[in-house]
Structure 1
């Protein structure tokens, strides 16, 4: 009789064992770590309520480690398939802690004010070598475009898209070329060409930055290709003695657009150079730091392209003489250079960058 009872209890234990073991495993897992979770939750709750002064230095120093432990606990809990309540609690806690450890510290308005108050300029100044490399590359691209079409005018059609060349082709008379830059800004052909310049430069800026991960080489090639188009057109107008007038036509918005391309190219080169020459840091660490700085520069590039579009849409339409256009272009060039390289209102931001 005793053997029968013992056998019955053994079968019952085997039946309930999996569920009981899973529950026991979940309880043990939670009890071993719950103290750290509660401490992390308390710190995060006070920070979310804006009570940072009530958080001790000890808790602030422990916050990153507590966050990492909670994230590790969440990963283990998912692997062990613990109870839903524990998983939901950990997921919410880790998400809240992430925003306190890695999330933005200021609102968009505060960030934008700091950005314009020195953050953008500080990031640009940190890329002086990369800007110099991009500038030399762009000048070389203009020379390459000029020399190619001078040696063989057929190169012009390869460098300048035919759908936007309209009357601007080798062999065009001075009167024809002059008519494209004076007095007819409202014509559809010129508007189309202007739209092409803006969209092309915006695409080039984005690509120049995005291709920086390949050690910056595609970025430099893209800069050469883009500025070679400008070199080809400069040659075309120079052939009819209109180089000065064409430069004024381009300068109104070109000094801002080309400046934006220069900074975008420098941002791409900056990332590529950080990956190729990380120094004492790991490649990922160096690339991450360069990426953050470059992203801030690219935010400014977008702003510059918007300003260039407004200049192209209004200033060039209203000003129809070369000296006036050159004055606008020169003023914008001086403004951007002074603002980015010499004006340092927010010294704290500049030093931090």
Structure 2
């Protein structure tokens, strides 16, 4: 296809459609019929350009024009409540479900680093000596670690925890803009903190206290962080290896998936914060507190598997309906 000749031949129709879309609230009957006719014609033009040209700018402009015209032709968007339900039953869970390999790999790598560091610190007193003085370490294992979860009012502590966890997940999401390259470093820093603290606690014979306090909230909290990291790194890999589709199209789809996960994790991390503030420091027996954390984790994973697998079988990707292949550039 001679793209320049195609544009020259059909630009008047595109400009006319754009004009009618902008005038949509004041259309006469004849103009409304003309808009429908032009929408069908320009949709055909878009299909021809997609199949015969690699001009991303042209495809983006036509995609945007067709999407805006479709909104006028088909009427109002779905009710807000329906969009809300679709997000929590399709968009968020299917993105998480489709990212399970990255999600599982991220979790395995994080836990491996944390365990190796914990064993190294616990088995080497000289390493512990570089972390703090004997009195500082004694204070940490005997009182500071446990009191951290109860020294502040539960409500304010829940908000503080949610903010901190959301910040870690947000770093992973924002790092997706940089193709996910900073994410392994962010995860390593957090694995380092977990591993060193576990090593000190286990080295002092207080491993039961460590697990009893960190497990109730830590399961779902870390799962959320792993998911944020997974979709961020998956976006970066989609740019490196887009497969047989245009790189711009894959990048746009994965970018929208990252946004879906970021929104969904706000609620997930809120649950983690509530557990950490109200369950972890509670006087409940340790096995009950751990059981609550395990139940929350299984509920979240079950939710993702149930709704995500069902949506994936229907061919859903979590992407917005009728999304353009490329983000418009002007």
TM-score by length of 1: 0.65
| Residue 146 (structure 1) aligns with | 118
Q: 1:294 aligns with which of 258, 282, 290?
A: 258
Instruction: Output the CA distance in 1 between the equivalents of 2:210 and 2:233.
Output: 30
Counterparts in 2 of 1:200-279, with a 5 A limit? 200-279=164-243
1:266 shift after superposition? 0.5
| Residue 135 (structure 1) aligns with | 107
TM-score by length of 2: 0.69
Uncovered stretches (5+) of structure 2, i.e. residues with no partner? 1-10, 47-63, 318-330
1:215 shift after superposition? 4.0
Uncovered stretches (5+) of structure 1, i.e. residues with no partner? 1-31, 68-94, 158-166
CA-based RMSD: 4.3
Instruction: Output the CA distance in 1 between the equivalents of 2:145 and 2:14.
Output: 75
Match status 1:109 vs 2:81 = yes
Question: Structure 1 302/155 Cα, relative in aligned 2: closer, same or farther at 3 Å?
Answer: farther
Question: Structure 1 250/42 Cα, relative in aligned 2: closer, same or farther at 3 Å?
Answer: closer
1:268 shift after superposition? 0.8
Q: 1:170 aligns with which of 137, 144, 167?
A: 137
Question: Structure 1 155/54 Cα, relative in aligned 2: closer, same or farther at 3 Å?
Answer: farther
| Residue 90 (structure 2) aligns with | 118
Instruction: Output the CA distance in 2 between the equivalents of 1:226 and 1:181.
Output: 19
1:336 shift after superposition? 0.8
Instruction: Output the CA distance in 1 between the equivalents of 2:243 and 2:315.
Output: 21
| Residue 80 (structure 1) aligns with | none
Highest Rg: 1 or 2?
1
8 Å Cα contact 1:215/1:272 also seen in 2: yes
8 Å Cα contact 1:44/1:100 also seen in 2: no
Question: Structure 1 168/135 Cα, relative in aligned 2: closer, same or farther at 3 Å?
Answer: farther
8 Å Cα contact 1:122/1:340 also seen in 2: yes
SS in 2 for 1:217: coil
8 Å Cα contact 2:238/2:254 also seen in 1: yes
The structure, 1 or 2, with the larger RCO (C-alpha pairs under 8 Å, 6+ apart) is 2
| Residue 287 (structure 2) aligns with | 323
